[in-house]
């Protein structure tokens, strides 16, 4: 088993790259920061954090306990999780190579547009609900978290490691989206972020592939 320190560091590092890569949550915070107020964006951040916490409790609680009771369940999770992360990484590399500059500037990916549009309906009146809805209904959240956290749900992993993994992820989410909500109020931050977006996408894709291969090798 990987020692707790390196394991948590790898989880935090990969999640940080994932959370700064534009998606539905980023789109909602961006829209509110630019079209409403910083306070509206902050409420959306709280909703996103609560949604993430709910997913983490489900995966590290109920799903982990269930998988530990199934023969070969944890090995299957690690193998499937590794394949899923490699798939996301390869897809990300292809998307970063073929997407136009204009499409890259739009934070939400094409398959998620309908989800984002539903969440944005009345977002300025109910920003907390919009953030929570976006976080809970994103179809990529559960498989990504299950893949990312697969090493922590293995039997024998101390409970504090799971708690630290979940707490760290929620903290990183609040820190990043909070920074985004504040920073997008200033034009130069938004421009700097947009310029570096293609590089962020490529780095994340490569890290996903590497982490996925690691899960397959150690599975």
Within 13 A of 105's CA, how many CA atoms are on the CB side?
8
58 burial level (CB within 10 Å; 0-12, 13-18, 19+): middle
Q: Kindly indicate the confidence band of residue 100, based on its pLDDT and cuts at 50, 70 and 90.
A: very low
Structure tokens at 56: 């983490």
Spatial distance between the Cα atoms of 99 and 117, rounded to a whole number of angstroms: 21
Q: Kindly indicate the confidence band of residue 181, based on its pLDDT and cuts at 50, 70 and 90.
A: confident
pLDDT at 106 over 60: no
Domain count, the chain: 1
**Mean pLDDT score, 159-168:** 90
Domain hosting 41: range is 4-218
DSSP character at residue 193: H
Tally Cβ neighbours within 10 Å of residue 57: 12
Q: Kindly indicate the confidence band of residue 207, based on its pLDDT and cuts at 50, 70 and 90.
A: confident
At 185 the three-state DSSP class reads coil
Within 13 A of 191's CA, how many CA atoms are on the CB side?
3
Percent of the chain with pLDDT over 70: 68
Spatial distance between the Cα atoms of 176 and 190, rounded to a whole number of angstroms: 14
pLDDT confidence of residue 104:
45
**Mean pLDDT score, 57-63:** 78
How large is the C-alpha radius of gyration of the chain? 17
**Mean pLDDT score, 86-112:** 60
**Mean pLDDT score, 203-207:** 76
pLDDT at 13 over 70: yes
Residues 173, 64 contacting (CB under 8 angstroms)? no
pLDDT at 219 over 70: no
Range with the poorest average pLDDT among 77-81, 87-91, 117-121, 139-143 = 117-121
Q: What is the dihedral of CA 169, 171, 174, 175, to 10 degrees?
A: -110
Q: What is the pTM of this model?
A: 0.66
pLDDT confidence of residue 118:
45
Q: What are phi and psi of 99, to 5 degrees?
A: -70, 145
CA 144 from chain centre, in angstroms, equals: 7
Q: What are phi and psi of 72, to 5 degrees?
A: 75, 5
């Amino acid at each position: 088993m990987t020692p707790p320190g390196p394991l948590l560091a790898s989880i935090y590092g990969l999640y940080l790259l994932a959370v700064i890569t534009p998606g539905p949550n980023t789109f909602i915070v961006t829209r509110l920061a630019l079209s409403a107020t910083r306070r509206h964006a902050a409420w959306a951040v709280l909703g996103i954090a609560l949604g993430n916490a709910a997913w983490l409790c489900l995966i590290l609680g109920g799903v982990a306990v269930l998988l530990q009771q199934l023969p070969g369940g944890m090995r299957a999770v690690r193998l499937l999780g590794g394949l899923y992360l490699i798939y996301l990484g390869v897809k990300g590399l292809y998307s970063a190579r073929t997407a136009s500059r204009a499409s890259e500037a739009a934070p939400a990916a094409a398959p998620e547009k309908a989800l984002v549009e539903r969440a944005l309906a009345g977002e300025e009146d109910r920003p907390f609900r919009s953030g929570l809805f976006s976080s809970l209904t994103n179809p990529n959240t559960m498989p990504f978290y299950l893949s990312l956290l697969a090493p922590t749900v293995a039997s024998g992993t101390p409970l504090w490691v799971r708690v630290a993994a979940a707490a760290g992820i929620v903290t990183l989410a609040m820190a990043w989206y909070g920074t985004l909500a504040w920073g997008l109020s200033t034009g130069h931050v938004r421009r700097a972020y947009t310029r570096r977006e293609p590089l962020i996408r490529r780095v994340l894709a490569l890290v996903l592939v590497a982490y996925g291969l690691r899960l397959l090798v150690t599975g």
